[in-house]
A and B are shown apart, each in its own frame.
Chain A
Amino acid sequence: MPAPLAKPPFRRVLIANRGEIAVRICRGLRELGIESIAVYSDVDREAAHVLAADHAVALFGNSAAESYLDVGKILAAAKAMGAEAIHPGYGFLSENSSFARAVREAGFVFIGPNPAAMERLGGKKAAREEAIRAGVPVIPGTEQDEGDASLVAAAKKIGLPVMVKASAGGGGRGMRMVEREQDLAEAIASGRREAKAAFGDDRMILEKAVAPARHIEIQLMGDQHGNVVSLHERECSVQRRHQKVLEEAPSPAVDAVLRARMGAAAILLGKAVGYDNAGTAEFLVDAQGNFYFLEVNARLQVEHPVTELVTGVDLVHLQLRVAAGERLDDLLRGRDLQPRGHALEARICAESPEQGFLPAAGLLRLVCEPMGPGIRVDSGVYSGFAVPVFYDSLLAKLIVYAPDRATACTRMAQALRDSVYLGIPTNVDFLRRVVEDPDFRAGKLTTDFLKYKPDVVAGGGSEPSDLALAAAVLCEAIAPRALAGHVSSVDAASGGSGGRCSSAVWNELGGFRVFGDGV
């Protein structure tokens, strides 16, 4: 472990999140000599992020609304534990400007952009208006939600197909492409429900669908002294249901000229609103290299590791240090930030691509994650962990780094072969099929990539070989570790009687007291 900084930016930081990102932030905190505080719902009492943190506080309840989205409980935990700052991770409260304000008003530092900048860029609608003002190109669409009827009218005016999107957030929640007029009403209604559930805000906007297009985004980092830098692009074109599947840096479609133009546009936008901390400007790029601004994700992104690997920058360290008031020109002085080599990230999710990407909660009985040169795994699970039904299906991220894209693809395919997540369906084999696809290897990526690859999505439907059948019976005969104790998936997912996790959280944490002074 590197020597802790002479003066860590904070003494103690609470992480208002769960899963792999909370584990990854714990690591960053530890490297800087900062104590970490996890928070957890009932089902997460033995989750990986609780084990990774120095301290842990129960939030009670299981739904996101009564745990990781409950501002009051999170602030009370931060206060009780003597936290100086709160890191929101991604999702949950990360892009909620009223949370960011509440954190500041309660006397903590919010590890993210200032609330004013967040309000000006956080929502899709607000960001779009800022982009228009700053002269950054945008896709034709509505500027506001004046009810279902006006959205339908706007869709007809813009011309189908259109994208129906949640005004408040990202991650594909509430987002739908509509090609037929008669599908508009249902798309708007179900989009509203998903947006309400995910962000607590059901306003929707419309945009003309630009296709075929690549999804390319620029990583921004700003400080509190007016500096904003671009850490270049990531390409995230391979998506399903508007959720990213595989991400990479640099983009095979971006040359130095386009990189400079997109980076300059993103910086312009960031400076116009006084942005600080980490953020991502998302763009669609058409076949001619025209780029259209989509939105800003005012937080650390799921796919931030590919940027870290090609630029050599630790984004969580930077987030913490700029939040403590340090200057980017000091932090990055003398650093060559040009992208070097190639990084790919695969999102390993508890879902079944072969069955329409159905999510699959339940007991992960056996987990073995790959290692080797150029392999990084940001994981939030372990053997014996029951994946809850209440939250996102992301289990872990597999990230590879190699000198060039072809080697990175080969390395990723091999690392996926070496990834073991058994007990519930996962998308591991699907990810390998994507990486082995000739068009993927050739870098021919568009956001509808998977639409034309039914075989990649569904798999060959290959039947088990004699070897697979023999191996199954031999596993049962001589490696019974992953077999013991049947736990029904509902029990496991709701944290019922299935407490078969091998963790030792209660032993490790000893006599801590929830909201108390036990620490």
Chain B
Amino acid sequence: MSLQRTYLRAGEPVEVKAERVGGDHWRVRVGNLDYEFRATARSDGGIRLVPVGGDAKAACVAYGARAGQAFMVRVTGSTHLLSAPQPRRKGSLEATGMIRAPMTGTVMRVNCKVGDVVEADQTLAVLTAMKMEHKLCAGLAGIVRKVVASEGANVEQGTILIEVEASKP
């Protein structure tokens, strides 16, 4: 059995490939380095990892779970959110003109409509989740080209709510 994933680290894709050598013995290639582990599942949902040929004290417990489109791993007391490289979409809009929902929540207010001329940092909408309000501000000065958000709508994290086209200098 083998399993291969590509995750971003410091913005660079890193290929990780795990191959079962036999039993609980695994060989894992991370980038161009090879590691060998004895890996066993624990009843609490985690795994126990012992480096083969290494110091027995280097044994550790790791926990992993999917988190939306990403993978969350917790090892030696730190959690990392790992995501696969995304293909870049080309578009006429600057990235900063896209106002995305920074969290899953409810749209409380929309302060703009298509065609509005807006200033950088102007509040375009207000989102609420878990009893807290969050302002969504324009990343740049420009013209509102699209308003997807409607008041009262539940939106998922990452949804584009408003698009602003940069004003020409």
Which residues of A does B touch, CB under 8 Å?
64, 173, 190, 193-194, 197-198, 241, 350-351, 355, 358-362, 365-366, 368, 383, 389-393, 416-418, 420, 422-426, 428-429, 432, 462-464, 466-479, 481-483, 486, 488-490, 493-494
Contact = CB atoms under 8 A, between A and B. Distances in A.
Given A194-B133, A420-B63, A475 B73 contact: yes
A368 B77 CA distance: 12
B133 A482 contact: no
Contacts of B129: 359, 361, 389
Contacts of A366: 45-46, 63-65
A343 to B, nearest CB: 22
Contacts of A481: 45
Contacts of B20: 477
A475 B64 contact: yes
A366 B47 CA distance: 12
A165 to B, nearest CB: 16
Interface of B, helix, strand, loop or mixed by DSSP: strand
A474 B73 CA distance: 10
Contacts of A365: 65-67
A472 B78 CA distance: 13
B137 interface: no
A508 B53 CA distance: 49
B76 to A, nearest CB: 8
A474 B30 contact: no
Contact of A490 (B37, B40, B130, B155): B155
Nearest to B49: A471
A428 B68 CA distance: 19
A296 B120 CA distance: 42
A359 B130 contact: yes
A472 B7 contact: yes
Interface of B: 1, 3-5, 7, 9-10, 14, 16-18, 20, 26, 28, 30-31, 33, 35, 37, 39-42, 44-47, 49, 60, 62-68, 71-82, 102-106, 128-134, 154-157
A169 to B, nearest CB: 11
Contact of B103 (A190, A358, A472, A475): A358
Contact of B65 (A194, A418, A483): A483
B31 to A, nearest CB: 8
A451 B71 CA distance: 31
B130 A475 contact: no
Contact of B28 (A432, A474, A482): A474
A366 B44 CA distance: 9
B41 to A, nearest CB: 5
A358 B105 CA distance: 10
A420 B74 contact: yes
A469 B47 contact: no
A495 to B, nearest CB: 12
B130 A391 contact: yes
